[in-house]
Structure 1
């Protein structure tokens, strides 16, 4: 996995990338009810959260290091994981507001 996509690039290819492992670069939000990566640069964003991807972790032992995520909040990051489109009846994330989610395996400062 060499190519790093912007959030908008990933969302534009949702049908093709659904279920695939991808790498996305954007701005991390790590707030209550808003754990996502948003498109960068800000000037190219569509209405939020349409330019954001919800971040999730598996139900096993893997989880977000909350202290690291708080330090990276508002910063550019690169996230790798499995990309999934929202279902036809329900979006992703808190209250189903996101068009897709990334089941994250790694999160690093860009």
Structure 2
């Protein structure tokens, strides 16, 4: 496991972290057109999607268990995976290119508070 980062730390260091494995902690959003991990605590978030990372899965065997992700929606989670910068032609990631980065998730687990 790589060093645990919060969302804002991952985004602040995106140029150096891009195309590497990261471990990020934050709040899961698992809703229609809003599948991402957002900075926690909420009081330190930037406006709109500035403190969010779009979550996706690759072509491997891991896939989101929809029911479990619905149960974890709004909860603190840790996600491990490959972090990517936006494609230069789009300027953002995810639905409508609104997120500043994408995380291709390999694992997703709830934080035990």
Fold match (TM-score > 0.5): yes
Distance 1:28 1:14 in 2: 20
If the length of structure 2 is used for normalisation, what is the TM-score?
0.93
If the length of structure 1 is used for normalisation, what is the TM-score?
0.96
Secondary structure (helix, strand or coil) at the match of 2:58 reads coil
More off after superposition, 10-19 vs 82-91: 82-91
Listed one character per residue, the Cα deviations across residues 48-68 of structure 1 (whole Å, up to 9, x for unaligned) are 211000000013443100000
Q: Report how many aligned residue pairs link the two structures.
A: 110
- The Cα of 1:10 is off from its aligned counterpart by 0.2
Which aligned runs of 4 or more in structure 1 are off by greater than 6 angstroms? none
Distance 1:61 1:10 in 2: 25
Structure 2 gaps of 5+ residues are none
Distance 2:25 2:9 in 1: 10
Let me know the Cα RMSD of the aligned residues: 1.0
Does 1:37 pair with 2:37? yes
Matched with 1:65 is 65
Matched with 1:49 is 49
- Residues 1-110 of structure 1 aligned to structure 2 (within 5 Å): 1-90=1-90, 91-110=92-111
